[in-house]
Amino acid sequence: MAEARLVRTTPAGLPELRRDAVDAETLAVASAIVEDVRARGEAALREHAARLGDLQEGGALVIERPFLDAALSTLDRADRDLLERSAERIRTFARAQRAALTDAEVPVPGGAAGHTVAPVERAGCYAPGGRFPLPSSVLMTAVTARAAGVAEVWVASPRPTQVTLAAAAVAGADAVLAVGGAQAIAALAYGAGPVPPVDVIVGPGNRFVTAAKQLVSGRVRIDMLAGPSELVVLCDATADPETVAADLLAQAEHDPDALPVVVSTDAAVLDAVDAALARQLAVLPTAPTASLAVAGGYSVLCADLDEAIAVCDRLAPEHLELSLASAAALAPRFLHYGGLFIGEGSAEVLGDYGAGPNHVLPTGSTARFSGGLSIFDFLRVRTWLRIDDTEAVRPLARDAAQLARLEGLEAHARAAERRS
C-alpha cells in the first residue's frame, strides 16, 4: 500500500466542506424502506431488518428493560464502573444546561405573558452498531434525553452487544429496538408493532440513517443530518507532532470519508506532523481505514495567524483543536465549530468519551448555523397569555384590531374589538 499523506495546500486550494447531507441514490433507497415501514408497520420492519442482517428469523425485535438490566448485571465490574462514571459526567453537564433554561413571565396590558420550558414525551436515540458498536453514543443521547426530562426513551441499535445493552440500562432507556438503518428510523417516527412513535429522533448513523432522518423530519424533530467525522487541528511550533498525528488518526479511523486537517503557519510543523502520521499508521490496527481518510485530508500552510483563523472559520468543522501556546487567549476569536478543544491537553477524544459536552456534533460546515446535541433538542418552549383585567386590556385590543385591518383581516379585527 502506498504511503498515505495529507494533501499539502494553501488556503486558496482548500475545498469547502459544505455539501448535501445525502445523495439522491441513498435518499431513494431509504425512501422506499421508510414508506414500506410506514404503510405495513411491524411486518415491513421485520422484513427489512432480516434482509439487512439485523434480525434472525423470529428474533426479538425489542429488548425490554429487564433484559437491559440483566446485561448490565453480568458486565465486568470495571466496564460497568466505566459506563457509570462516563454517564454521570454527561448527566452533570446536561443538567447544568437544563438549569440555564427557566420559565419566564412579563406583564402585558391587563395580564401577563410568558413561556414554559417542557420536555417532549418520547425520544428515540440511535446508536450505530456496524464495524464499531458505539455504546458511548447510547450514553450521549439517552442520558441527555433523561436529563432533559423526557418520560420515555427508546434506543435503536442493530445487533446490540452486551455493552450496548448495558449502556442503555445505565442511561435509563426504557427499551432497545434491535434494528438499525432506515427501517429503525421509520419505526421510531411512525411506530411499528411494539415500537411507539416518538417525538424526537437523535444520534449519529450511516448514510441510510441520515437519509431516513431527512425524510421523517417534520413528522418528528431530528437533531441534525450528520456526515463523516471531521477534525481540524490548528498548531504552532509548541505542539507535539506525535500528539497532533494521534488526534488526526483518531478521527481518520472512523471512516474512509472522515476528514483530518492540520493548519499551521509553520511548514516545519506540517512536515513533522506528516512524518508522525506515517510512523503511527505503520503500526495502527485500523490503518486500512485511517490511511484512506488521511489521503483525503489536508495540510494547510497559512501566511499568518489571522489567515489560519479565517481558514478554520471557513471550514466550520465538527471538531476544532487549538494546539497553540496561546490557545486560551485566542479561543474567543473563533466563530464557527461544533466542538472547540482548547490547548493540547484538551484532546478531542476526551469529548468523544464522556468529559461532559456531547459528541454528537454538526458536520459539513453546518456548525455555521447549528450546534451539537444537547438537552435543547428534547425541550419545547411553549408560550402563554393570560388576561385578567378586561379594562386594562382595551388599548392592546384596539391595537390588535387596527393591525388586523392593515392586513385586510376583518374577522380578526372584530374578534379583537370584542375585548376593547
Catalytic annotation, residues? 318-319
Rounded to whole angstroms, the Cα distance separating 394 from 106 reads 18
Helix 162-171 and helix 65-73: axis angle, to 10°? 110
Question: Pick from 163, 74, 207, 140: which is nearest to 153 by CA?
Answer: 140
| DSSP strand pairing (111-119 vs 379-387) | antiparallel
Q: Under a CB-based contact definition with an 8 Å cutoff, are residues 407 and 384 in contact?
A: no
User: Quick one: 408 exposed, middle or buried, by C-beta within 10 A (0-12, 13-18, 19+)?
Assistant: exposed
Largest CA distance in the chain: 83
Q: Under a CB-based contact definition with an 8 Å cutoff, are residues 323 and 236 in contact?
A: yes
- DSSP-assigned letters across all residues of 312-331: HHHH--SEEEEESTTHHHHG
Which whole-number Å values give the CA distances from 332 to 118, 123, 329, in the listed order?
32, 34, 7
Rounded to whole angstroms, the Cα distance separating 54 from 379 reads 32
Question: Pick from 254, 357, 359, 246: which is nearest to 296 by CA?
Answer: 254
Rounded to whole angstroms, the Cα distance separating 238 from 399 reads 64
User: Quick one: 231 exposed, middle or buried, by C-beta within 10 A (0-12, 13-18, 19+)?
Assistant: buried
Rounded to whole angstroms, the Cα distance separating 235 from 47 reads 50
374, three cell numbers: 444537547
DSSP 3-state of 351:
helix
- Which residues sit opposite 115 in a β-bridge? 104, 383
